[in-house]
């Protein structure tokens, strides 16, 4: 069989389960007039992003130069789309449907359920549009803190809308048996209720956005510390980290007697309060910080403490990598649903490179994918 450019197709010998999980994604283009089938477009974009592409112009060039590699997976009878055409296709794809397909794919990708699911938001700074005053998109992601895998994401228009986005994200996923960790923005009754209803537990940072809840906790903790906690039941745990001239000591105290707090605030599922006291020493300078959390867990500090620490994996292992390796903040994809869909594609690429065997960094794995077709094909092959 011949392609439109006169080249002969090789026998298609490689498959990818990725396309199977996105086969139900609605394609609103007019039937019978589609030159570039959606599975081919998705595979093109994924392979190009894995190989280092950061925009639709990069992806279009990748398609021109790597058509032989692409035809190992799909026919690509009409070759690959131009960058404008790619942008149009991605702008019209339903972002929520795309994210639901992503969640289904991740569920099949992971062998074990996530133990700690960290939820946090990140803004793609260059996705704003001056024309029409369209704000940069803000993606709220769920991250398996120990497996280092993105489990799902939803788009919101601004950070304040995380309160609405988090329940929508939780609805997409199966979280039974997991512990969900969220920063203070997610300290909302509806979110706590949603987590409990889905048979999971929560650890939520406590700040001043819940009326007198934090104030009551802080006053109680101060009183009990002065009395050496003799009027309540606690468990404690300490960690010490030292590297590059920095010493950080963290003391975790879990207060297990919270009946008084529950009687006053009626917080869904509340079982304990956690106090984290950190001391950081750098070049002789000492900085102290105290943070408060509420949790539905009935566990000792030696278990709860590492879960709180694991939450920061979403900052260090996801957000930082998306910025520094995938250049998320520099991406200028801006039209309609395209920014959200492209962000989802970057998360797919992140998961695949993270799951690849070996000890190379994600940065080096991505570079290798750009240099070595066999390695790139292995990242997506079933």
255-265 pLDDT tens trace? 999 998 999 99
d(CA 223, CA 235): 17
What's the longest Cα–Cα distance across the chain? 84
Encode the chain (382 residues) as per-residue pLDDT tens digits.
445 554 444 455 567 788 999 989 999 887 777 899 999 999 999 999 999 999 999 999 999 999 999 999 999 999 999 999 999 999 999 999 999 999 999 988 887 777 999 999 887 665 555 554 456 778 899 999 989 999 999 988 655 578 888 999 999 999 999 999 999 888 999 999 999 999 999 999 998 766 789 999 999 899 989 999 988 999 999 999 888 778 999 999 999 999 989 999 999 999 999 999 999 998 889 999 999 999 999 999 999 999 999 998 999 899 899 888 988 777 767 677 888 899 999 999 999 999 999 999 999 999 999 999 999 999 998 5
What strands, in cross-sheet order, belong to the sheet with 201-206? 149-156, 138-144, 116-123, 179-182, 201-206, 285-295, 272-282, 246-255, 234-243
d(CA 344, CA 139): 9
Burial class (CB in 10 A: 0-12, 13-18, 19+), 286: exposed
113-171 pLDDT tens trace? 779 999 998 876 655 555 544 567 788 999 999 899 999 999 886 555 788 889 999 99
Q: 3-state DSSP call for residue 281?
A: strand
Residue whose pair of structure tokens reads 């939450």 in the numeric block: 311
Beta strand pairing status for 201-206 and 285-295? antiparallel
Strands (E), 221-296: 234-243, 246-255, 272-282, 285-295
Q: Which two tokens stand for residue 249?
A: 């000591």
């Amino acid at each position: 069989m011949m392609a439109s450019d006169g080249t002969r197709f090789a026998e298609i010998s490689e498959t990818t389960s990725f396309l199977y999980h996105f086969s139900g994604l609605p394609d609103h283009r007019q039937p019978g007039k589609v030159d570039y089938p959606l599975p081919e477009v998705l595979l093109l974009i994924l392979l190009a992003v894995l190989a280092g592409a950061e925009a639709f112009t990069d992806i279009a060039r990748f398609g021109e130069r790597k058509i032989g590699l692409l035809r190992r997976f799909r026919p690509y009878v009409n070759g690959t789309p131009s960058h404008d055409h790619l942008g149009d296709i991605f702008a019209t794809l339903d972002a929520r449907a795309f994210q639901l397909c992503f969640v289904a794919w991740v569920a099949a990708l992971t062998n074990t359920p996530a133990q700690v699911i960290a939820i946090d938001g990140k803004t793609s700074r260059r996705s704003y549009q001056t024309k029409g005053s369209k704000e940069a998109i803000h993606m709220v992601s769920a991250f398996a803190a120990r497996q280092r895998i993105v489990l799902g994401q939803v788009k919101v228009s601004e950070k304040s809308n995380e309160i609405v986005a988090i329940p929508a994200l939780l609805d997409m996923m199966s979280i039974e048996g997991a512990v969900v960790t969220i920063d203070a923005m997610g300290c909302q009754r509806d979110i706590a209720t949603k987590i409990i209803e889905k048979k999971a537990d929560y650890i939520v940072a406590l700040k001043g956005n819940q009326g007198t809840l934090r104030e009551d906790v802080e006053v109680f903790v101060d009183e009990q510390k002065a009395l050496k906690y003799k009027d309540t039941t606690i468990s404690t745990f300490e960690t010490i980290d030292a590297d590059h001239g920095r010493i950080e000591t963290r003391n975790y105290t879990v207060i297990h007697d919270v009946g008084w707090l529950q009687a006053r605030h009626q917080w869904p599922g509340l079982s304990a309060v956690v106090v984290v006291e950190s001391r950081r020493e750098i070049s002789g300078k000492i900085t102290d910080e105290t943070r408060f959390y509420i949790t539905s867990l009935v566990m000792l500090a030696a278990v709860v403490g590492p879960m709180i620490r694991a939450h920061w994996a979403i900052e260090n292992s996801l957000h930082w990598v998306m910025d520094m390796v995938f250049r998320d903040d520099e991406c200028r994809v801006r039209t309609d649903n395209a920014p959200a869909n492209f962000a989802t594609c970057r998360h797919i690429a992140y998961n695949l490179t993270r799951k690849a065997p070996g000890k190379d960094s994600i940065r080096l794995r991505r570079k290798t994918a750009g240099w070595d077709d066999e390695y790139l094909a292995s990242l997506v092959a079933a």
